[in-house]
Each structure stands twice: as structure tokens, then as C-alpha cells.
Amino acid sequence: MRKKIAVIGSGFASLSAACYLAKAGNEVTIFEKNQTVGGRARRLEKDGFTFDIGPSWYWMPDIFERFFGDFDKKPSDYYQLDKLSPAYKVVFEDDEIPIGDDLEKIKATFEQVESGSSKPLQDFIDTASDNYDIAIKNLVYRPGESPLELVTPQTVKKLGAFVSNVSRDVRKKFKNPKLVSILEFPVLFLGATPQNTPSFYNFMNYADFGLGTWHPKGGMYEIILGMKTLAQELGVEIHTNSPVERILVNNNGNATGVQVKGTEQEYDIVLSGADYHHSETLLDTKYRQYSESYWEKKTFAPSSLIFYVGFDKKLKNIEHHNLFFDTDFEKHAHEIYEDAKWPEDPLFYANFTSVTDPGTAPEGCENGFFLIPLAPGLEDTPELREQYFDIVMNRFEKRTNQKVKDNILFKESFCVNDFKSEYNSYKGNAYGMANTLLQTAFLRPNLRSKKVKDLYFTGQLTVPGPGVPPSLISGKLVADLIKKHSR
């Protein structure tokens, strides 16, 4: 039966869910608090420069193909995808290592760094590929309603991969600390340290070395624009500048609509893709499933300090994606997950899409995105941002062997306070809740409210977890659940 469905938020998860729900014949309306759609993946345009505000790594192209394929479309119907070569480079204190665009090239690089390491790398990636296959076929497309969903002949064989962790496995096979850092990097996308991430999640290494790093021409926001177009083609109505103030619940405990700009609007079903913690604050306390102490105990993925910088010249010694792993990773991780303090000597990530996609900066210029991962909930002041901008620029100049500070046309920043005010993010987290062993699948916050009928949730704080591909999957999962429970 055709239902009237209100969707809160317009991030990847909400847009994905809205597309599936509209395709199933429902009347779907999106309410987004911000001026533009996209959530954490919005775009900043300034003086001819274009920046993705949030995500910049396009990994797991198969998930995007599957999403658009479900609507008889292809990613190329909406955006042009290019494989990056090199995929990225990693800068260390004394040298740098480029990561090629296929496994054979990467094996050759590993061999140069640590003689004899190409064979263990092949073995490691073979296991990662196997895990990827199982994850995609048996795990991530499950709604997390019951632990039994995870029990299949394939997953049972992999139980051991949930006992050990990625860090231990990598260190068993590789001795060179640079190779260890490179192989530990992909699981950072899941929001926890490699020590706290089960071995099974090394499927992210297959995503990295096996499937490659891609770039949608114009930036990640092109995917959002594609999904917005698709949603509208399917009949979804989108209201921006429309923060939802309350989720309405009747005396029988059924969600009956939303309050937007002081006006109550009736719906059969409410689905929130806003941050889960915030979504529950839109309900009376008795209808919330999770207490403040529940959220307090969870391992959240980091927040970030990000700078968007317009440079008035082309820069040297950079690639599209650059990881500055030239300081102590363990120390920085400790400062994020244990001490919850500003890092003394931070690692950082920088991208310059203008290196491979000249349309994203004026001719002869470069657009720089610099990101330092931080503990969520840190104090965030203009002075601290300035202090860390200097740290990043000094290190960047030193490592890339050039002067850039006098070539800055402008800089914008985004940090903990912006994550809170722009997205209602819990403690200003950037990437949601981490995928640790105890925060996986049915152990994550539910897609379907256990306290309010006809109320659902989607996005990076629920299943399957943080990242753009998981958010696309989360939208599909919740749409399937709505279909199942609202007959």
C-alpha cells in the first residue's frame, strides 16, 4: 500500500532510502535542515575553487554500481568516474611511497621497501578479497535485526577472523613500519584503531589495493547531485532549509509525522537519516531507546579539523591524495581514542583534486583540503584552529620542499563546533560510530525503533557503519525493513 513517508536529512543514507522507498511506490518527502542536500558530503565553492566539504575517497565502486543498478541506471548516467594512478601517496619522515593503481605495481613497490614482502602481500590481499566477498554477500546487506543473520556456512569458517585484529595480522606478516602503516590505513575508514578492528575487516585492504581509488569528475558532490536527480525522477519531494523540530507520536506509540518550522505535518512513517543521537532527541524521553550513558560508552569515530585552501600557484610534489604519516601514528591514535586531547604532533591527510581534475581550481591554481583527525567533543576555538593551521602548513612546506604560505588566496575551516551546528552531530563526530567488534551488525543502534511503531533510522550510526558505501547500503536496508513491516 502506498504510504506517506517523511525522511529527515539528505545525506547519502537518506537519499538512498528515499530512492528505494519512492521506487516501491511510496510518497516520499525529504526535510533537510541545511540549505543544500548532501549532509557531510556537501560542496564548498569559492572564487572559482571547488572543494568537497567531507568525503573525498571513492572506494568500492561495485557498491555504487549496485545502488544505481537497482534503478536500472549506471553511475556513468550521472557522473564520470576516473581511476586514480597513483591511487595516493604516503609521506614519511625520510621518504614517500606511491601506491599504484593495481596490485602488481603495489607488490613491486613493497618489494623495494622490504625484500620478500610481495608474497605475504599477495597472501594478505587474497584473504582480504575472500573476506570482501563474504562481507558483501553475507554480512553488510543484513539489517542487524538478529545475530542469526550473520550465521552462514561462509561466515562460520571465518570466526577466527573476529578474534584477532588487523594490527596484529599486519605486524605478523610485515616488519617494515612504513608498510605496516600503509596496510593499517584502510581500516581507519571504519572509525577505530587497527588494534580495535577485527581481522575480518581487512576486506578494506582489498577495497584499497584490489578495487582501487576512483574520482568522480567535479568531486564527490557529483554523486549527491546524481542521487538527488534520481530521487526527483522517482518523485521524491525535497525541502531544504527545513529542520525537523519534533517527531510526532500518538498515544498508541505510533509515529504520526514531523514538526517543521512550527507546523505539524502528518505522515504514515517517519525515517530519520540525521545523526541517531540527535534523532532521538526529537522524541519525548519515554520514546528514546538509548540513554545518554549508552552513547557516552560507545566508541565514536573521530571528529576532524579541516582546512579548505585556495593556492594561487600549482604546487610541487603532491598527488591527488596524500597521507602525511611522518609522525608517530600510535601517539596520535592514543590522543584521539584514550586521552581525548588535541594531538601534539598530528598526522594529516591532504587532497588536491585540481591535480587530476583541473576544473576544480582556476587555471594555474591548486585547491588544498587538509584534514587532521581529532577526538570528538574537543574544545574548538579560532585560536586552536589557527595554531594547527600553522603546524600543517609548516610540515607541508617541509615535506614537499616548497614555500606555499605566501600563495594562499583564502582558507576556510571546519571543526567540532561546525559538525555539531551543521549536522547535529553527537560530540561533533565526523564519521559516526566506529565498527569495533562490539559495535557491529545487530550490536549497533537499530534501524527500526523498538519503542515507536512506524519510526525508522538510517545512516552512519546504524548498520552497516561509517563511510559513503555503507551509507548507501543503510538506505537500502531500511527501505527493505519498512517494506517488510508496513504491509
Ligand X SMILES: Cc1cc2nc3c(=O)[nH]c(=O)nc-3n(C[C@H](O)[C@H](O)[C@H](O)COP(=O)(O)OP(=O)(O)OC[C@H]3O[C@@H](n4cnc5c(N)ncnc54)[C@H](O)[C@@H]3O)c2cc1C
Instruction: Summarize as ranges the residues that interact with ligand X (CB under 6 A).
Output: 8-14, 31-34, 39-41, 54-57, 243-244, 273-274, 278, 304, 306, 423-424, 430-432, 459-460, 466-468, 471
Query: Nearer Cβ to ligand X, position 114 or 422?
Result: 422
Least Å distance, CB 465 to ligand X, is 8
201 within 8 A of 192, measured Cβ to Cβ: no
Q: Are the C-beta atoms of 448 and 456 separated by less than 8 Å?
A: yes
Nearer to ligand X, 57 or 324 (CB): 57
Is residue 424 within 8 Å of residue 274, measured between CB atoms?
yes
For 8, phi then psi, to 5°, come to -95, 125
Of 31 and 200, CB closest to ligand X? 31
To ligand X, the closest distance from the beta carbon of 104 in angstroms equals: 25
**What is the closest distance, in whole angstroms, from the C-beta atom of residue 42 to ligand X in the complex?**
8
CA 464, chain centre distance (Å) = 12
Closer Cβ to ligand X, 134 or 274, answer by number:
274
Size (the chain), residues = 487
Contacts of residue 42, Cβ cutoff 8 Å, sequence gap at least 6:
34, 36, 53, 54, 221, 224
Alpha helices in 356-467 (DSSP H): 382-400, 416-423
Min separation Cβ 363 and ligand X, Å: 27
- Smaller CB distance to ligand X: residue 181 or 471? 471
Residue type, 314: K
Q: How far is the CB of 38 from ligand X (least distance, A)?
A: 7
**To the nearest whole angstrom, how small is the minimum distance from the Cβ of residue 288 to ligand X?**
15
User: Residue 219 or 467: which CB sits closer to ligand X?
Assistant: 467
Sign of CA dihedral 60, 448, 7, 20: positive
Q: Considering the complex, what minimum distance in angstroms separates the CB of residue 32 from ligand X?
A: 5
Which of 64, 381, 103 has the alpha carbon at shortest distance from 223?
A: 64
Helix (H/G/I), strand (E/B), else coil: 50:
strand
The residues near 76 (Cβ < 8 Å, ≥ 6 apart) are: none
252 or 263, CB closer to ligand X? 263
Contact 33, 244 (CB under 8 A): yes
Select from 359, 235, 358, 378 the least CA-distant residue to 302: 378
Q: Which of 19, 101, 21, 28 is nearest to 59 (CA)?
A: 101
Q: Which is nearer to ligand X, 301 or 333 (CB)?
A: 301
d(CA 147, CA 154): 15
- The three-class DSSP label of residue 318 is coil
Minimum CB–partner distance for residue 122 and ligand X (Å): 26
For ligand X, give the closer residue by CB, 274 or 315. 274
Q: Residue 475 has which C-alpha cell?
A: 538506505
Contact in structure between 43 and 52 (CB atoms under 8 Å) = yes
Q: How far is the CB of 145 from ligand X (least distance, A)?
A: 19
- Say which DSSP state 186 is in: G
CB-side exposure of 102: number of CA atoms within 13 Å?
Answer: 1
DSSP 8-state assignment for residue 209: I
Q: Which residues contact 299 (CB under 8 A, 6 or more apart)?
A: 191, 192, 196, 337, 433, 434, 436, 439
How far apart CA 192 and CA 395 sit, in angstroms, is 25
- For ligand X, the closer CB: 121 or 455: 455
Nearer to ligand X, 127 or 460 (CB): 460
**What is the smallest separation between the CB atom of 9 and ligand X, expressed in angstroms?**
2
